[in-house]
Amino acid sequence: MVALIKLKNVFVKFNHRYILSNISFTLTANRIFTFIGPNGAGKSTLIRIILGLLKPYSGKIVRKKNLNIGYVPQKLYFNTSIPITVNHFMKLSQGVKNCSIINSLKRVNAIHLKDLYLEQLSGGEMQRMLLARALLKSPELLVLDEFTQGIDTEGQIVLYELINQIRYELHCAIVIVSHDLNLVMAKTDEVLCLNNHICCSGTPESVYKNAEFIAMFGYMGTKEFAVYRHEHNHRHDF
């Protein structure tokens, strides 16, 4: 399995506090990773470390050379005062052809957004558009930050199906950062539970036989969601 990024004993300090302590894990190709954790757990900080936006206080990070990364950030930090359409925005990437943009938008079911201005997009539409943009460079690693925030369960089911297809098409590693502590994408290969350090990690448990789950989310839901059982050997006092 091709190791794309390897973190070894990474510590991140900010304002004399350790935001991340002793983080070690490996991201490999063709696998889906989900990071979960409460607010303030350092999920966004960990993403920034992976993306190279932040340098760790100590520890080692080994990256594959010239790693092609596609990033879908949270929608909050976008400056939409520039009058720019989705099409124009996607053209800002290096050497992109018109047909690739159209294909990418069709792939994520966002072709109807092509001529809308960035400030006209809703949160969910912005996420889809950013995913289409990230796919333009055929990334080896796709990082999705709080990708399903504010989207209902039906919407999440559709998105998870899409992400899984992308994994098989591009053979890329996919990192999903989620705010949900218990329900994760069913096809996740590895879940990392984070609370300033790695509390636990493992695979999710499938729920396709769980009658109550089927009653709540429908049969499609059982294919796309899974319950993650935390195994903590310690306690946190909040």
Partner 1 sequence: MIELFFLGWLAGILLTLVTGPLGSFIVWRRMSAFGDTLSHSSLLGLSVGVVLNINPFYTVLFLLLFISSIIIFLEYISCLALDTILGIITYSTLSLGMITVSFMSEIKKMSITNYFFGDLLTITFSDLIIIILLIIVVLFILIWYWKKMLLLTINAELAKVDGVNITKIRLIFILITAVTISVSIKFIGSLVIAALLVIPAATSQRFASSPENMACISILIGILGVTSGMLVSYFFHTPSSPSIVLFLSCFFLLSYFKKIH
**Which residues are near partner 1 by CB under 8 A?**
48, 51-53, 69, 71, 73, 77-85, 88-89, 92-94, 118, 130
Measured from the CB of residue 224, what is the shortest distance to partner 1 in angstroms? 27
138: left (phi over 0), alpha (psi -120 to 50) or beta: left
- The answer to whether 166 and 31 have CB atoms below 8 angstroms apart is no
**Minimum CB distance to partner 1 smaller for 119 or for 154:** 119
- The answer to whether 33 and 173 have CB atoms below 8 angstroms apart is yes
**Minimum CB distance to partner 1 smaller for 77 or for 219:** 77
Residue type, 154: E
End-to-end C-alpha distance for the chain, whole angstroms: 39
Measured from the CB of residue 225, what is the shortest distance to partner 1 in angstroms? 29
Phi and psi of 206, rounded to 5°? -80, 155
Measured from the CB of residue 148, what is the shortest distance to partner 1 in angstroms? 19
Measured from the CB of residue 214, what is the shortest distance to partner 1 in angstroms? 39
**Minimum CB distance to partner 1 smaller for 39 or for 79:** 79
**Minimum CB distance to partner 1 smaller for 5 or for 207:** 5
What would the DSSP string read from start to end of 184-205?
EETT-SEEEEESSSEEEEEPPE
- The answer to whether 25 and 50 have CB atoms below 8 angstroms apart is no
Measured from the CB of residue 105, what is the shortest distance to partner 1 in angstroms? 17
Cβ neighbours around 232 below 10 Å, total: 10
**Minimum CB distance to partner 1 smaller for 86 or for 198:** 86
